[in-house]
A and B are shown apart, each in its own frame.
Chain A
Amino acid sequence: MSKKEWPLWEVFIRGQHGLNHRHVGSLHAPDAEMAINHARDVYTRRKEGVSIWVVPSKEITASSPSEKGPLFDPAESKTYRHPTFFDIPEEVGKM
């Protein structure tokens, strides 16, 4: 009996034309071609997509939870990056 497990793939689906591919889940498959076939069977049975990407899970590098502070905290104090930071007088009109 087979002892070798099929590797894990992450699946990304474009829901509609014009939208980004979004991560929808993962699955096992021996190669990329089969991963696409499985993704189509598992994740698009109700017309959920128009395009599929598959990526070997082991190829994904993730940020670690302990880096959350250094990575994301600096954005907190930079509210001037949002348009609502600036008060534009009404007389100026739409901007």
Chain B
Amino acid sequence: MYAQLVKSDAIKSREDMSPEERAFQDRVDAGEKIEPKDWMPEGYRKTLVRQIGQHAHSEIVGQLPEGNWITRAPTLERKAILLAKVQDEAGHGLYLYSAAETLGVSRDELLEKLHSGKMKYSSIFNYPTLNWADMGAVGWLVDGAAIMNQVPLQRTSYGPYSRAMIRICKEESFHQRQGYSIMMKMAFGTPEQKEMAQDAMNRFWYPALMMFGPSDKDSVHSAQSMAWKIKINTNDELRQKFVNETVPQAEYLGLTIPDENLAWNEEKQGYDFSEPDWSEFFEVIKGNGPCNRERLGDRVKAWEDGAWFRDGLNAYAERAAERRRAASVAAE
């Protein structure tokens, strides 16, 4: 999802656990929250750093495809709304970096790993946003898919991660609704507008399905993460849920989901649908998507261009502290 391919350990059986590991697992099973100073298995800590870090990176890289349209929004109101939405995403990144920092990594370390390509962000943000209808499709489908994953994660075992998720979920619903509202405007507008809405849906449908990560049969080691409650549902479960909820929303808009195999399955009480092209997914993850280079380049540039500003504020803070010290010495 926002963390699609998180490497983690193979699951440990109860017999193989140390007494500490067993006590830890009992706490997780009992629904207790694990807090930063509590004992935790090294694998739990490492997996969480990767997962929360990937999630945080996705929030801030996710600002780029939408940031592209802030200055091109069709009305002042839409511009203010999109700006607020993109600002929220910066906040989401911050909540998550803070949660990761409680596990003993620093935010700058994580950013360095993002910028050097050692850590990933969600594949979805490597697709281009070509026109205003894409702002609708992104809010509706991309934030919609993110919500699917984030709602259950509010119950995750790690306290700081869970609290970050609760805060994020409170804000996400606005994101999805503003996207759907753009889609309604376009789908119920002129034939050209409707065509743009359909085209945006066609381009974002499969990449949105990929957000949930590879199919369960190819998902490595999710059993350990599920036992630790840092993953709550399987990729396929969430993907199915997303399709079930999205189909009626598309029908209301009069848009066609670009999948010939989409059909209601009475028996499973859900839709049958085509899997996305997984070879495309792995190519995008490897860095060969349509916008990987541009996105990472923009991130690195923003970080480097902001260095003088961060340094300036540091220098100011140091001078001010010196002046305060001098003043208190003089007063003595």
Contact = CB atoms under 8 A, between A and B. Distances in A.
A31 B84 CA distance: 26
B37 to A, nearest CB: 5
B95 A25 contact: yes
Interface residues of A, number: 20
A1 to B, nearest CB: 5
A27 interface: yes
14 contacts: A1-B307, A2-B307, A4-B311, A5-B108, A6-B313, A8-B101, A25-B167, A28-B107, A31-B320, A45-B84, A45-B88, A46-B171, A62-B37, A64-B37
Given A26-B98, A42-B91, 10 more contacts: A25-B163, A25-B164, A27-B94, A30-B314, A30-B316, A31-B313, A31-B317, A45-B84, A46-B171, A65-B38
A5 B307 contact: no
Contacts of A62: 37
B38 A2 contact: no
Interface of B: 35, 37-39, 84, 87-88, 91, 94-95, 98, 101, 106-108, 163-164, 167, 171, 304, 307, 310-311, 313-314, 316-317, 320-321
Contacts of A42: 91, 94
Contacts of A50: none
A30 B312 CA distance: 10
A2 B98 contact: no
Given A30-B314, A31-B320, A45 B35 contact: no
Task: Find the residue from B87, B91, B171, B304 having the highest chain A CB count within 10 A.
Answer: B91
Contact of B313 (A5, A8, A30, A46): A30
B166 to A, nearest CB: 11
A21 B307 CA distance: 33
B35 to A, nearest CB: 7
Given A65-B35, A65-B37, A65-B38, A34 B313 contact: yes
Given A2-B307, A5-B108, A45-B88, A30 B317 contact: yes
B311 A2 contact: yes
Contacts of A1: 304, 307
Nearest to A4: B314
B316 A5 contact: no
Contacts of A6: 310, 313-314
Contacts of B35: 65
Interface string A19-51: 000000111101100100000011001100000
Contact of A5 (B84, B95, B107, B167): B107
Nearest to B95: A25
Contacts of A64: 37
A41 B87 CA distance: 9
B95 to A, nearest CB: 6
A4 to B, nearest CB: 6
A18 B280 CA distance: 56
Contacts of B320: 31
A83 B304 CA distance: 61
Contacts of A25: 95, 98, 163-164, 167
A27 B317 CA distance: 16
Given A6-B314, A25-B167, A45 B94 contact: no
B307 A31 contact: no
Contacts of A45: 84, 87-88, 91
Contact of A31 (B94, B108, B167, B316): B316
A5 B317 contact: no
A45 to B, nearest CB: 7
A2 B304 CA distance: 9
